[in-house]
């Protein structure tokens, strides 16, 4: 699939400096560029590469002024990183549109409905009374349980499992191996020390423009719904427990976990391997550093947390400085104790 520099500039609302008819068939990092590729320059420390890159086109900021001759055609845009992302999204969309029809063997219940231009891969399964929107791509070995609803332009990659009753919005992307709607971890302790299973009767709701990474698990609610709001981005290998709600445009990195019934606010940033206890609220625009443990509610918006148990970021950095000094402080205390014992011994000797 080829695009001209002029077509790309029109897509990202940019200005071509050079040959607007030059054709692009691939993307590349600016340092690894090759003929027929497009790259971008957003970070000033990569500027030296623009003078040597072999990429045919480079997307740059409107304010960029080269200090040496540049062989590549330039596309000036307001924000190169965002514009390049838009280009990648459009390329992915056009590529996915090529997938249409049904591969065999694939199963779809007679009571299920599918919109126009859908794709169903081999060994996929669509259960009773499902409603599948237009342009939905269901890759091989995807399982969709009964009464599931999937909005337009959503992509389910190989091996995704969506349990019964769950609702997936428009323009969602769910990566391979992810499970949506598995039973929440609900067990009632009994007098004899055993545990009785609590039926999980709720569902999972993913709103529009949600991206879920590979091998992530989102549990269905005990009652009601586990809700992932519009624009949320979840990385690979994340666990979201039952009745959790994640606010709009929040992002979470890999290996993080949120315990049951916790409410995470909007525009939060949660780094990798963060653990969050259940039944708490986390305020909007909270940011949490990697490997932190959130053990209590976060009530102030815009709070930055780090550590386990997590405390405010700057306080944690000060604590780390003190922690690093502990061995030195211990040696000083031991020396002081030794000196004190010597003084006491000398005092006792003098008093005799």
Separation of alpha carbons 232 and 213, rounded Å: 11
Strand partners, 204: 226
**8 vs 37: CA distance, rounded Å:** 12
Beta-bridge mates of residue 287: 269, 304
Whether omega for the bond prior to residue 309 falls within 30 degrees of 0, making it cis, is yes
User: 11 by DSSP, 3-state: which?
Assistant: helix
Among 64, 58, 2, residue whose Cα is nearest residue 29: 58
**Which residue stretches of 62-150 are H helix?**
80-97
φ and ψ at residue 179, rounded to 5 degrees = -120, 120
To 5 degrees, how large is the angle CA 127–CA 202–CA 256?
100
242 as an active site residue: the answer is yes
**137, 242, 266, 285: which is the annotated catalytic residue?**
242
**Who contacts 23 (Cβ-Cβ below 8 Å, separation ≥6)?**
2, 3, 4, 36, 56
**3-state SS record for 285-301:** CCEECCCCEECCCECCC
The one-character DSSP state at 223 is S
Nearest to 27 by CA among 109, 76, 69, 86: 86
How many Cα atoms sit within 13 Å of 22 on the Cβ side? 22
Task: Write the CA distances from 269 to 42, 211, 282, 302, integer angstroms.
Answer: 22, 15, 11, 10
Give the residue numbers annotated as catalytic, written as ranges. Answer: 242
């Amino acid at each position: 699939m080829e695009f001209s520099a002029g077509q790309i500039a029109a897509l990202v609302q940019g200005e071509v400096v050079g040959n607007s008819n030059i054709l692009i068939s691939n993307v590349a990092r600016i340092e690894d560029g090759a003929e027929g590729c497009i790259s971008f320059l957003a970070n000033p420390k990569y500027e030296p590469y623009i003078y040597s890159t072999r990429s045919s086109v480079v997307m740059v900021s409107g304010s960029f002024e080269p200090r040496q001759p540049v062989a590549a055609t330039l596309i000036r845009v307001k924000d190169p990183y965002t514009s390049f992302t838009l280009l990648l999204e459009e390329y992915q969309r056009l590529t996915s549109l090529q997938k249409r029809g049904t591969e065999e063997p694939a199963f779809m219940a007679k009571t299920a409905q599918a919109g126009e231009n859908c794709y169903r891969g081999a060994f996929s399964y669509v259960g009773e009374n499902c409603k599948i929107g237009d342009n939905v791509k269901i890759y091989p070995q995807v399982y969709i349980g009964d009464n599931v609803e999937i909005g337009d332009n959503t992509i389910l990659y190989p091996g995704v499992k969506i349990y019964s009753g769950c609702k997936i919005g428009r323009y969602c992307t769910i990566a391979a191996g992810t499970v949506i709607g598995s039973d929440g971890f609900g067990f009632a302790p009994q007098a004899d020390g055993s545990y009785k299973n609590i039926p999980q009767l709720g569902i999972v709701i993913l709103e529009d423009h949600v991206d879920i990474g590979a091998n992530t698990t989102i549990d269905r609610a005990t009652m009601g719904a586990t809700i992932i709001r519009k624009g949320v981005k979840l990385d690979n290998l994340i666990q979201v427990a039952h009745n959790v709600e994640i606010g709009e445009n929040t992002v979470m990195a890999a290996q993080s976990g949120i315990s049951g019934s916790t409410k995470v606010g909007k525009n939060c940033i949660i780094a990798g391997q963060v653990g969050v206890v259940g039944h708490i609220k986390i305020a909007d625009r909270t940011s949490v550093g990697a490997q932190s443990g959130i053990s209590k509610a976060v009530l102030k918006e815009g709070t930055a947390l780090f550590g386990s148990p997590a405390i405010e970021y700057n306080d944690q950095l000060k604590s780390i400085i003190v922690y690093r000094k502990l061995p030195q402080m211990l040696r000083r205390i031991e020396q002081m104790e030794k000196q004190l014992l010597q003084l006491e011994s000398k005092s006792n000797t003098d008093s005799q």
